Structures are given as C-alpha cells and as structure tokens.
Chains A and B, each alone.
Chain A
C-alpha cells in the first residue's frame, strides 16, 4: 500500500539555525499537506501543495513539492522557540480513497534558545 516516509524523526537545533524535514512517497501523490502539532496539542494545517514543482512560502517557512510529485520538503529559516513541535506531511495518491490521507511519522523539532 501507499507509504509516506518522513525524515529525520528528530531534529535538535540552536535558535537561529535552519531546519528541513523531508517527505517521500512510494507512489505519485495528487497533493500533499503539511501540519504542525505543538507538544500536547493537536495537528494544525499549514499548507497544501498540488502542482508539480510547486513552491510556497509562509514567512520563514518554505514548502516544496517535487517535480515527480513523490517528495516534498519543509524548510524553516532561522528557527525560533515558537517553531517547536512535530511537523507532519500527509499525502493522498491518485486513485486513493477519498478519506485516506496518509500521514508521515512526523519530524519532532526542538529549538534550544
């Protein structure tokens, strides 16, 4: 079945350093979504990418969708303590069930002030 792999599992950075998490799918995706879950909280939607090669920015966050629509990345420039949390990618393959959004295992980011 469809799998979405996400690396790294953990990332510890010093405040001000950059951070990147990568997401890879075993199948071509129709779209990919990114979510952030703060410690003790619930996932919150960040963005959706649909087009091949798409790049979107939200302030210090840059999201990319690969040309083959099988991989994606989230890059945070100059991390802040407010960036702490787990970042999940979630994708749905073409022909996949409408309800079956597959989540990666997440990358847990900790930021040392």
Chain B
C-alpha cells in the first residue's frame, strides 16, 4: 500500500472560511497531483507539480492554490470556501524522474461547505 496521506478526511465548514487540505507522501515522488471528484463521477485534475517550487494548473479551473516547498508535502488552499467547492479532493503522487509511472492516490478529503 502506498504511503500517501491526506488530512482531514472529512471537513464541514461555513462559507467564506479559509481552508487548507494537507497531502503528504513518504515515497520521495517528484510528481504530485490534486484531483476533484464528485461522488460517483469522473476525476478532474486541478493542480499538479513536477517537483519543489513547481506548480501548474490542471484542466479544471479552480479557485484553489497549491504550494510545493518540500518534496513530500503538497497542500491545497481555498481562500474563501463556497458551497460550489463541496466535493471530494484526492491527492496523488507518482514516480521519480522521467517516464510514465502509476499514480498513487491518498484516501481523499470529503469537503462540505455550508
């Protein structure tokens, strides 16, 4: 089983609050990703990173921001949460160097904005 962790697992928060979703991996992977997934639906890539100090926006426009100051840590921040942000957020990482590697997913954070 992959060592990738997400906290919190569940979060219920009011509109307008600032939140940070944590993601950490202990595999030394260069590449990390954030996906948004509504229940039973497809995965949408919202952010990714090739390595430290590298971040890119994904296919789905998102009001969130990310940072990659350390290899193992890739937090996602929402400055002002809205009900439309209610979803599951999945963090993933993949192997070191060039080439195509499988993605290891964390357990996800289920966010509800009231």
Contact = CB atoms under 8 A, between A and B. Distances in A.
A42 B105 contact: yes
Given A92-B100, A99-B31, A100-B59, A42 B108 contact: yes
Interface residues of B, number: 23
Interface stretch (A12-20, A51-59, A72-80, A104-112): A104-112
B41 interface: yes
B1 to A, nearest CB: 9
Given A48-B100, A48-B102, A42 B50 contact: no
Interface in A58-113: 86, 88, 92, 97-106, 108
Q: Which of A33, A45, A101, A106 has the most CB of B within 10 A?
A: A101
Which of B33, B40, B42, B105 has most chain A Cβ within 10 Å?
Answer: B42
Contact of A100 (B45, B102, B104): B45
* Most-contacted residue by chain B among A31, A42, A88, A106 (CB, 10 A): A42
Nearest to B106: A42
A103 B42 CA distance: 7
Interface of A: 1, 30-31, 33, 35, 41-45, 48, 50, 86, 88, 92, 97-106, 108
